[in-house]
Amino acid sequence: MIRRERPRIVVIRFNGDEGGVVVILVQREKGRRDFDRIERVVSTDKSNRLAERYIAEGIVGKANINDSRHVALASVAGVDVLVSFNCTHIVKLNRIHKYNAINVLSGYSQIEIRTPDEVIQ
């Protein structure tokens, strides 16, 4: 994966009423933890197709479509790190490997998926 000088880190919060996701993209300079920019990213055909592919490949079940959408939106948006507390369906090593395999096969970059503790040090 190509690394930017200042990584884009995403914190996602699903808004089911609008079918989209509110994404906070953080660009951190070394030693700083401030927000440089906040963007809103909504579901697209590309992100929905990628989320459905994660389900079709058995990474998560259909009941966990929102978790699948979170990863797909971050992947399609091209973020470097997805930050989540969801250690059951998102931040789990075997799932991270599978998400990234599908991303590569689908033409997207691999994505780092981490807990907040791993990112804020």
Stretch 21-48: mean pLDDT, rounded?
63
Is 50 or 42 the better-scoring residue by pLDDT? Answer: 50
Predicted TM-score (pTM) of the model is: 0.76
3-state SS of 55-108 is HHCCCCCHHHHHHHHHHHHHHHHCCCEEECCCCCCCCCHHHHHHHHHHHHHCCC
Higher-confidence position of 58 and 13: 58
Q: Is the pLDDT of residue 117 over 90?
A: no
Say which residue, 98 or 65, is predicted with more confidence: 98
- In the chain, what percentage of residues exceed pLDDT 90? 39
What is the reported pLDDT for 11? 58
CA 109 to each of CA 14, 19, 31, 120: distance values in angstroms, whole numbers, following the listed order: 22, 24, 26, 23
Q: Is the pLDDT of residue 108 over 90?
A: yes
Element spanning 116, H or E? helix 116-119
pLDDT reported for residue 19: 45
